[in-house]
Amino acid sequence: MTAYVFPGQGAQFSGMGKDLYESSEKAKALFEKANEILGFDITKVMFEGSDEDLKETKVTQPAVYLHSVIKALVQDNINPDMVAGHSLGEFSALVVAGALSFEDGLRLVAQRADAMQKACEINPSTMAAVLRLEDDKVEEICQQISEELGEVLVAANYNCPGQLVISGSDKAIDEACIRMKEAGAKRALKLPVGGAFHSPLMEPAREQLAAAIENTEFSKPKCPIYQNATAKAAVEVDEIKANLIAQLTAPVKWTQSVKNMVADGATSFIECGPGKVLQGLVNKIEPGVEVSGVE
């Protein structure tokens, strides 16, 4: 069985999607439609913008979504048995699985980016990657610091064994980086992000996005989607929407999702989108499976 997986924020690069635009009329039409929907020339930023330009949340999220989805839609033979997306990538996965239209997916991604940007401005916060420390130890230290300081600090992204990203207030993250190293982490480093994604500090964004999701038409997907909030397969529209809303304040259970996909029969994982981040993570989670990318 083949699983298609879709990356999230951080996979972007300058020039992304330009080859697609120039080599496929279908891709070109979808990019042009995206410019219309967003109300600004995102293709110009993607094709010609600097890495700095692409880091802006309102650009990054639609850019990664567009690259992933258009790359999939121009293929003749994409027929996944199951799909999953890392954080933002969940929207790309839903489009490819037929649960969302290209246009509605893009509108939701744009609203998600806007909502997250606003939430970051309300609550100054950040994230940090913790390497080579057991998940339960990381969770324990987060809970201790959170209780001591009265600040938000949680496990946010279970990326692969030995790589867990934490989210919280600036003060809590600074303290966590010190204590994680003391506890034996190989590294604990702050990430260049402007907010505590996948934590309770994203509650204002969750509320804003929930309204948009409830007002968007979803269809039953043609294959199961393994969602970040539960790491389990979902096919019912109400369940998919609830998990998508929960995603902003819940951790990304990527390790658990990949393990469940393999347990349910996935033998091959194909990453669709910019970069090879997920191929690397899948290899570390389940070394025996076949991993590749869409050319």
Distances (CA, A) of 142 to 71, 120, 231, 241: 38, 20, 22, 29
Q: Select which of 125, 198, 199, 257 is catalytic.
A: 198
Domains in the chain: boundaries? 2-120+200-293, 124-190
pLDDT digits (tens, 9 = 90+) for 11-57: 888 999 999 999 999 999 999 999 999 999 999 999 999 888 888 88
Give the total residue count for the chain: 295
Q: Select which of 67, 86, 87, 199 is catalytic.
A: 87
Q: pTM score, two decimals?
A: 0.95
Active site residue 198: yes
When the pLDDT of each residue in the chain is averaged and rounded to a whole number, the result is 94
pLDDT digits (tens, 9 = 90+) for 60-107: 999 999 999 999 999 888 899 999 999 999 999 999 999 999 999 999
Active site residue 86: no
DSSP letter at 131? E
pLDDT category of residue 121 using cuts at 50, 70 and 90: confident
- Contact yes or no for 104/34 (Cβ under 8 A): no
Which pLDDT does position 180 carry in this prediction?
97
pLDDT digits (tens, 9 = 90+) for 235-251: 999 999 999 999 999 99
Measured over the CA atoms of residue 144, residue 147, residue 153 and residue 156, the dihedral's sign is positive
CB within 8 Å of 233: residues ≥ 6 apart:
82, 224, 225, 226, 260, 264
Q: What is the CATH number of domain 124-190?
A: 3.30.70.250
Distances (CA, A) of 62 to 37, 128, 182, 235, 253: 11, 23, 39, 24, 22
Domain 2-120+200-293, architecture per CATH:
3-Layer(aba) Sandwich (3.40)
Instruction: Average the pLDDT over 116-144 and give the result.
Output: 93
Tokens of 120: 């970051």
